[in-house]
Amino acid sequence: MARQFSVRRQTGFTAIAMMCFFALYLPIAVLVVYAFNAGTSLNTWEGFSLQWFVKAFENQQVIEASIRSLQIAVVAALVATAAATMAALATTRTEPYRGLTLKYAFINQPLMIPEIVTAVALLIFFSRIKVWTGYSGLGYLIAAHTAFCIPFAYLPIRARLENMDLTLERAAADLYATPWKTFRYVTLPLLWPGILAGLMLAFVISLDDVVITEFVKSAGQDTLPTYMLGQLRRAITPEMNAISTLFLLLSICIVTVFFFVNKKRI
């Protein structure tokens, strides 16, 4: 009996996989190691120290930029996930009709358009609104991040809906449950892993965005990524390594929490 094809059994698969992981994670490992360097050099180890983490926590600009980044990312992720959930329900819990594929492509179009194009378009659009209204607050950044994050939240939610068994939803309808009660007590509990995945993906995408933020933000509205970019243009110190390490730690924590929550539900 012929064995089923598996890419893992192909010659050189393990070596190529290890090379890819090595190329991906070695630079990150070097960045983390030199965040604990006692000196100011980025290529010469001068001893172990936590001074760059202390300086990062004592830097008022870093604190303000971090708080601003978290505010924007939390609001944008929540709004984007809510919109993506409604869009996913509208495109999966319906009979196929002409134009459905077009709607699916329209929702995911921001993923195909270069981010710089989106950033320039938002800059022109919001600049006119700023002139008309005189408002220049964080609302523009939140709106821009929300619009950009919707496709990222939409994909895992739609994938979860497409893979869900409709038996329970149909049973609820047969028992005269209203569409809202069916969604609340049947669909939503089953959909939570997809919603959480979309929420965290949208949060991370918003948190580390540079291009759109750089074009849309007003004076004094630096997020942590744009602040780091500005500092890298002036002088590179291990303080940037320390901030990047904290960013990495936050991402690992988010993935870990999602893993255990999802595992518990399964």
Residue 91 forms part of a structural domain:
yes
pLDDT digits (tens, 9 = 90+) for 165-201: 777 878 887 777 888 888 888 888 888 888 988 998 8
Per-residue pLDDT at 35 exceeds 60: yes
Task: Give the residue numbers spanning the domain of 175.
Answer: 60-265
Q: What is the pLDDT of residue 3?
A: 64
Residue 96 forms part of a structural domain:
yes
Residue 223 forms part of a structural domain:
yes
Q: What is the pLDDT of residue 77?
A: 93
Other C-beta atoms lying within 10 Å of the C-beta of residue 52: 22
Q: What is the pLDDT of residue 2?
A: 55
Residue 122 forms part of a structural domain:
yes
Q: What is the DSSP letter of 187?
A: I
Average pLDDT for residues 95-124, to the nearest whole number?
A: 83
Average pLDDT for residues 22-32, to the nearest whole number?
A: 88
Per-residue pLDDT at 56 exceeds 90: no
- What pTM does this model have? 0.82
Rounded CA gap, 172 and 216, in Å?
A: 46
Per-residue pLDDT at 99 exceeds 80: no
Rounded CA gap, 138 and 207, in Å?
A: 14
DSSP string for residues in 145-174: HHHHHHHHHHHHHHHHHHHS-SHHHHHHHH
Query: Rounded to 5 degrees, what are φ and ψ at 44?
Result: -130, 120
Per-residue pLDDT at 91 exceeds 90: no
Enumerate long-range contacts of 70-73, CB under 8 Å, 24 or more apart. Answer: 70/207, 71/138, 72/138, 72/141, 72/142, 72/145, 72/206, 72/223, 73/145, 73/203, 73/204, 73/206, 73/207
Task: Check which CATH number belongs to the domain holding 193 and give it.
Answer: 1.10.3720.10
Residue 219 forms part of a structural domain:
yes
Q: What is the pLDDT of residue 55?
A: 87
Average pLDDT for residues 221-233, to the nearest whole number?
A: 84
**For the chain, what is the domain count?**
1
